[in-house]
Amino acid sequence: MGLNLTSKKAVVSEVNDIASNAHALVATEYHGLSVLQMTDLHARARETGVYLRVVKNTLAKRALADTEFSVVADQLVGPLVLAFSQEDPGSAARLWRDFLKENDKVDKAIVKFLSVSGEVMPGSELDRLAKLPTKDEAIALLMACMRAPLDKFARTLNEVPGKLVRTVEAVRQSKEAA
């Protein structure tokens, strides 16, 4: 059943709002997935902050026209499910990577392309995008880098009295032995 004009405008508006705030896009051909698999995928997406949507390509082109994902307009061909990362750039890629690993029999679901920061990448870059740290991991890495010089400085300052104590102990032991 086709959509009327009002429904089409609502879909375009919804996808545009999501795409405007999204960090990354992963487009995957979904034919060959069962209803149960798609339901499972949608549930996982909600848990991980990923917006999944199957949209007609003409509506998707209109929705993505004034966003950083407008570069993918030429690649919107065939039955695609669009996954937008809402929380961090790698969340949609991690969702698809994990889903495809767990469902080995899903050989027809193919990641067609990815888009991050106005760039289009082939689907083969899925693992590279999925390995990006989450927001919490990135903050932890940054804090570790910022803290490392202070930790080294504190260890260096602590080493001076420690060396003095070891030297005095060595002198005491040598005098007792003599």
Tokens, residue 114? 């990815």
CA 60 vs. chain centroid, Å, equals: 22
Specify the DSSP class assigned to residue 30.
-
**Half-sphere exposure of residue 47, counting CA atoms within 13 Å on the CB side?**
8
pLDDT tens digits in sequence order for the chain, 178 residues long:
567 888 888 888 898 898 888 889 999 888 778 888 889 889 999 998 899 988 888 888 888 888 888 888 888 888 889 999 988 888 888 998 888 888 765 566 788 888 888 888 888 888 888 888 888 888 898 998 998 888 888 888 888 888 888 899 999 998 888 7
Neighbours of 123 (CB within 10 A): 15
For the record, the structure tokens of 173 come out as 């032991």
Q: Which residue type is seen at 30?
A: Y
What pTM value is reported for the model? 0.73
pLDDT score, position 73: 85
Residue 152 DSSP code? H
d(CA 153, CA 146): 12
